[in-house]
Structure formats: C-alpha cells, structure tokens
C-alpha cells in the first residue's frame, strides 16, 4: 500500500469523531483523535501530523484559531487542513480558507467525499515533500565540491566566519588545518588526470574517517589544497590530529593499474584561534597563518606538520 500520512482529528462531538476514525482507518490511515483545539495543538508538539481534520466550533479553542496557530507554529512542514462544520455559507467558507484551511466539508459529512478530499491532500503533501527533497539536493550541490564531495570554496567563505563568531561567543578555541598534497602536479603528469582525481577522492575519504562527524568539516580551498575546520579544538589537539592525518595519508596504497600502486604524502599548516588570548581575528587571518606554516612544512622537506597559535610568527 502506498504510504499514507497520519491524520489528527479534532472533533468534540464523539459520534462524529468515531465515524471519521472508522472511515479513515478502514481506508488504511493511522488516526489520532482529540476533543478540542488545545489538545490538538499539544498533540502536534509531541508528534507532527501532516493531515488535520478539525471541527470549527470547539470548547477552549475554535477550529479557526487552531488553523492560524498551526500555520504560525509549524511553517517548516506543511499541514493539509480540512475544516469540518455545519456552516455552509460562502462567507464562512472564505473565513475558514483565509484562516489557513485547505479544504472544507459540511456536516453531516459524506464518507466517500471525506476520503476523496483526504486523497487530494495526500497528493499535495507528496508533491510538497518531493519539492523539499529536490530543493535540499540543489542546496547540497551548491555547497559541495563535485569531485571530492567535500565542501566547496563558497561554503568555506560563508561558514568559516560563522565558526569564528561562534568561537568568540562561547569562548571556545577554533583550529584550522591547511593541507596540500605533495607533488600533486607530478602525479597528474606521470599517471594522468583521472588518477589525480582518484587521489583527491581517496585523500578526502581518508580525512573524513579521522575527524569528528557533524562537528569537524573539510573544504576544498583550491586544486589540491584543503582546509579542515576543528571547532572547540585547542592547538595541541589540532597538531595531534594533523600528525595523525599525515600518517594515515602516507599509509594509503593507491592502485595506478592492476600491476602498480603508489603512495602519496601531504604537508600541513596548523593554526588555532583562542578567544582567551586574541579577541580579534578573521577567516583571512587564520588562513594566512596556516598558509605560512604550510609553506614552512614544504621547506622542511614536505610530509611535515608545522603550526603556531594565531598571531605567533612562524619559525
């Protein structure tokens, strides 16, 4: 059976309430029933119901008031609302629709008509859900590097300043690691760009397995350079992680073809912003500091980790 959305019924007349439940449950719907608008609102706060059938006139809170509150408080997820009432004047219909109802059924209701209107709402909800999923995919694509699936430069430029503001607000350290794959151009020239793409993807996968899920994140800064952002991580912790990443990357065995494998290394520049030491920083300052230390790592022979607290001269 096609997935049916759960239905909440707010109806103070117990006979009508029971008839609605029997009609919907026979059709395969999961139904919860309450006797007034206040209980309906409380039910929504415990569990989201995509479909609401509400009586107009109920004690404590009318169906009109309930419609308005649902629209105000649950705007992130759409609720298909059917207003059930003995009122059948055109003015009453307009009042109900303006309050946020999607449809309108007069009492005594006709079971086939109720099911038809529920099915109509079901189609609308399916379309709304499909649209949200499509929009989410578009949003993800807009902030993701298509090759490595890490975040892209645009996301870095937007997110890193927010991470800095958060670090200042909560007085937590924020660390940044800049990583550059050693001799990447030589890899491309020797084994081809397709192999270079394979290296980049394996490199990002290796990093993702070593950082905290949903806390730390990696973004492609450009070419073979990447930034790893470490919220609530001090300098010692970020240096230790960078060295662990360096070691893990150097241990990867990458298949060139069926008869040949190769290994890669990377160089690291690490910096930390600590609000207890510096009250002012920017994304540009953090990136510049990490870049200076990355350069020192390359000068020292590559496959190295160099780092300094923000504002400390690289040595």
Residue 254 maps to which CATH number?
A: 3.30.70.270
Q: Indicate if 158 and 298 belong to the same structural domain.
A: yes
Whether 286 is covered by a domain: the verdict is yes
- Domain total in the chain: 2
Q: Indicate if 111 and 59 belong to the same structural domain.
A: yes
Helix (H, G, I), strand (E, B) or coil at 38: helix
13-23 pLDDT, tens digit per residue, is: 899 999 999 99
Phi and psi for 10 in degrees, rounded to 5?
-115, 105
Q: Which secondary-structure segment (H or E) carries 113?
A: helix 111-143
| Active-site position among 11, 57, 98, 224 | 224
DSSP class per residue in 71-104: HHH-TTS--EEEEEES---HHHHHHHHHTT-SEE
Q: So what's the pLDDT on residue 107?
A: 85
**How far, in Å, CA of 2 to CA of 20, rounded?**
21
Show the domain range for 126.
Answer: 7-140
Q: What is the mean pLDDT of residues 238-254?
A: 96
Q: 85, 106, 140: which is the final residue of a domain?
A: 140
61-70, 91-100, 205-214, 226-235: which has the minimum mean pLDDT? Answer: 91-100
Alpha-carbon distance values, 46 to 50, 109, 306 (Å): 13, 29, 51
Q: 108, 140, 172: which is the final residue of a domain?
A: 140
β pairing state of 103-106 and 254-257: unpaired
Whether 147 is covered by a domain: the verdict is no
**How far, in Å, CA of 293 to CA of 270, rounded?**
7
Q: Indicate if 63 and 22 belong to the same structural domain.
A: yes
Q: Indicate if 188 and 293 belong to the same structural domain.
A: yes
- pLDDT of residue 313 exceeding 60, the answer is no
Q: So what's the pLDDT on residue 166?
A: 95
170-202 pLDDT, tens digit per residue, is: 999 999 999 999 999 999 999 999 999 999 999
67-87 pLDDT, tens digit per residue, is: 999 988 887 889 999 998 877
The reply to whether 224 belongs to the active site is yes
Structure tokens at 150: 């890490």
Q: Indicate if 116 and 235 belong to the same structural domain.
A: no
């Amino acid at each position: 059976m096609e997935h049916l959305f759960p239905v909440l019924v707010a109806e103070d007349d117990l006979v009508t309430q029971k008839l609605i439940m029997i009609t919907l449950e026979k059709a395969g719907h999961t139904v919860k029933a309450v006797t007034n608008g206040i209980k309906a609102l409380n039910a929504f706060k415990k569990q989201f119901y995509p479909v609401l059938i509400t009586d107009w006139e109920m004690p404590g809170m009318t169906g009109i008031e309930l419609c308005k509150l649902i629209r105000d408080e649950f705007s992130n997820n759409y609720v298909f609302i059917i207003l059930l009432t003995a009122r059948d004047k055109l003015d009453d219909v307009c009042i109900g629709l303006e309050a946020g109802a999607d449809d309108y059924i007069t009492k005594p209701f006709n079971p086939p008509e109720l099911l038809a209107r529920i099915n109509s709402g079901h189609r609308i909800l399916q379309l709304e859900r499909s649209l949200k999923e499509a929009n989410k995919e578009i949003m993800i694509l807009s902030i993701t590097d298509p090759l490595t699936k890490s975040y892209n430069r645009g996301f870095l430029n937007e997110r890193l300043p927010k991470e800095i503001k958060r670090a200042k607000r909560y007085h937590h350290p924020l660390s940044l690691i800049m990583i550059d794959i050693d001799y990447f151009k030589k890899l491309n020239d020797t084994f081809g760009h397709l192999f270079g793409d394979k290296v980049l993807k394996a490199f990002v996968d290796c990093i993702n397995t070593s950082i905290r899920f949903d806390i730390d994140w990696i973004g492609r800064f450009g070419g073979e350079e990447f930034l790893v952002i470490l919220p609530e991580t001090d300098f010692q912790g970020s240096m230790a992680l960078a060295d662990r990443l360096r070691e893990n990357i150097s241990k990867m065995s990458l298949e060139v073809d069926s008869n040949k494998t190769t290994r890669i290394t990377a160089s690291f520049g690490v910096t930390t912003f600590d609000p207890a030491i510096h009250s002012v920083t920017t994304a540009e300052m953090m990136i510049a500091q990490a870049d200076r230390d990355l350069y020192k790592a390359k000068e020292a022979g590559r496959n190295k980790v160099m780092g300094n607290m923000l504002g400390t001269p690289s040595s």
